[in-house]
Amino acid sequence: MSDSFVKDSTHFIERLETLNLQPGDMLVSFDVVYLFTMVPVKEALEYIRQIFPEDITALFRLVLTTTYLQWNNTFYEQADRFTMEKENNGKLAYLDELVNRKSDGSLGHTVYCKVTHTDRYFNKNLNHYPAQKQAILKTLIHRANHIWEASLLDQKLRHLGQALKYNGYKSQEIKRALHSRKTAPETPQPPPVGFASLPYIKTVTDRIGLLKRHNIRTFFKTHTTAANLNKIS
C-alpha cells in the first residue's frame, strides 16, 4: 500500500496528526484528474459503439468530450482547469475537512462548511420514517466526533445541538444521540426469517409490531417520490 494512500476522513486525520510543517512549507491540494490514470476516451467510445445503439453512443460522446454548461439562457464551455489549490490564510479544504496551520507547525482540523451553509438539515417534522431522522442525528454527531479537534469538540457539539433544535429535533433525543456513542456495542441478533416492505404512514405504520415479534424485518417507504410524481399527476 502506498504511503500516500488515504482510506477516508478518519484515516486522513490520523496521518495529519503525525505531520509537522517546516518554515517555507505550503499546503496545497491537487485535482485528482491529473494524479490518476485516465480512461482513454477514444478507445472507450469505440467499445461503447460496439455494444450500444448509435443514439446512446452519441450521448456518451457528448458527455465525455465536452464541458458545456448553461447559465442565463446562454451556453458556455469550461476552458480552464484548476489543477492546484493553495492554502488561504493558513487554511485549506480537503475532503470534508478544513485543515489549518498552527504556529508550532502542527496541523489542526475541523469540519469544512461552505460559506453558504445555513445549518439546515433534514427537518424532524417531515413525513418520513423516524429511523431516517435518527440517522441524521447519528451521522452528524459521528462526523463531528471523528473530524473536529478534541479541544474544539465540546463547542462544536453545543452548536450542533442548537442547529438540530432549529430543525425541529427535541432536546431529549439530541442528548440521547450524543450519549449513544459511549454505550456498549449492541448484542448480535439472529438473521431475520423474512422481509416486508410497507408504505410509511405517520402515526399508523409506527405502531406495527406484529412482524417484528416474528423476526421479520420491515422496511418503510413513502407514497410519493420524485420517480412517481408523473404517474400521480
Three cell numbers, residue 158 = 453545543
Cα–Cα distance for residue pair 109/111, rounded to 1 Å: 7
Instruction: Supply the pLDDT for residue 9.
Output: 82
Give per-residue pLDDT as tens, 24-66: 899 988 765 544 456 788 888 899 999 999 999 999 888 877 7
Amino acid at 148: W
Cβ–Cβ under 8 Å, residues 10 and 146: yes
Give per-residue pLDDT as tens, 93-152: 888 888 999 889 899 888 888 888 888 888 888 877 777 888 888 888 888 888 888 888
Kindly list the domain boundaries of the chain, sorted by start residue. 9-31+88-111, 34-77, 130-180, 194-226
User: Nearest-CA neighbor of 147 among 30, 6, 12, 3?
Assistant: 12
Q: Which residue has the higher pLDDT, 199 or 146?
A: 146
Cα 178 to the center of its chain, rounded Å = 20
Instruction: Supply the pLDDT for residue 211.
Output: 64
Cβ–Cβ under 8 Å, residues 217 and 195: yes
